[in-house]
Amino acid sequence: MSGPLSDPAQTNERPARRGVPVLVLLPLVVFGALAALFLFQLYFGKDPSSIPSALINKPAPDMALPPVADLTRDGMPVPGFDGNDLRGEVSVVNVFASWCVPCRQEHPILEEIGRDDRIRLIGINYKDKPENARRFLGSLGNPYDRIGADDTGRAAIEWGVYGVPETYIVDRAGVIRFKFIGPLSPETYAGTFQPELERVLASGS
């Protein structure tokens, strides 16, 4: 004969608690890990502008870029450039576009560089429409000695561009000696870019 049924009220058993599903916690764990990685890179990681380039200490890409259509400076057409234009003088090559907001921010620095007679300032106009490039330089001023139109983005690939703006220092032998990623500011120009530029200018190459 079976015994009497137990009264739930008189037992010590309690209903099992449901745990928080793992799938609910997973996004929080991933977010926390990414946030920690971001903070680590922010405080202990390298400056993005110092990301190494495979082209450093190697010859600049030898390619011919046509001029930006109908672009003039002081009433004269602004020429494009090829590999020969990167030899004989120290060159600063700047990749820019009219649609690039940081390019506007760094433009006063480029104007300062353009006033230095020791340097040839060359622009690569990246995936831009000629009329927009003309309007951009017409409103801000044109500090470049030469500008090549990179309509397809092929030149930027050859130069190893991560994104606009980027600025390179090329020595007298046509060898890339330094690369700066992102917009130049008064601080980064004085603290990082200008010392590298002076070093290349002082070298015998």
Mean pLDDT to the nearest integer, 113-137: 98
CATH of the domain at 162: 3.40.30.10
Task: Please give, one letter per residue, the 3-state secondary structure of the chain.
Answer: CCCCCCCHHHCCCCCCCCCCCHHHHHHHHHHHHHHHHHHHHHHHCCCHHHCCCCCCCCECCCCCECCCCCCEECCEECCCECHHHHCCCEEEEEEECCCCHHHHHHHHHHHHHHCCCCEEEEEEEECCCHHHHHHHHHHHCCCCCEEEEECCCHHHHHHCCCCCCEEEEECCCCEEEEEEECCCCHHHHHHHHHHHHHHHHHCCC
Domain assignment of residue 145, yes or no? yes
Q: What pLDDT is attached to residue 29?
A: 54
Domain assignment of residue 39, yes or no? no
Q: What pLDDT is attached to residue 70?
A: 98
162-199 confidence digits (pLDDT tens): 999 999 999 999 999 999 999 999 999 999 999 999 99
Predicted confidence (pLDDT) at residue 97 exceeds the cutoff of 80: yes
Domain assignment of residue 138, yes or no? yes
Percent of the residues in the chain that have a pLDDT greater than 70, as a whole number: 74
On whether the CB atoms of residues 157 and 188 are closer than 8 A, the answer is no
pTM of the model: 0.76
Q: What pLDDT is attached to residue 13?
A: 52
Q: Angle, nearest 10°, between helix axes 130-140 and 101-114?
A: 60
Domain assignment of residue 94, yes or no? yes
Q: What pLDDT is attached to residue 110?
A: 98
Token pair of 112, please?
Answer: 């300062």
Domain assignment of residue 3, yes or no? no
Q: Residue 181: give the domain boundaries.
A: 48-202
Name the residue with higher pLDDT: 145 or 20. 145
Domain assignment of residue 15, yes or no? no
Mean pLDDT to the nearest integer, 124-137: 98
Mean pLDDT to the nearest integer, 118-139: 98
Q: What pLDDT is attached to residue 44?
A: 41
On whether the CB atoms of residues 169 and 203 are closer than 8 A, the answer is no
How many domains are contained in the chain? 1
26-69 confidence digits (pLDDT tens): 656 555 554 444 333 433 444 444 555 789 999 999 999 999 99
Domain assignment of residue 26, yes or no? no
Q: For 13-44, b where at least 16 C-beta lie within 10 A, e where not — what string?
A: eeeeeeeeeeeeeeeeeeeeeeeeeeeeeeee
Domain assignment of residue 155, yes or no? yes
Predicted confidence (pLDDT) at residue 124 exceeds the cutoff of 90: yes
Q: How confident is the model at residue 204 (pLDDT cuts 50, 70, 90)?
A: confident
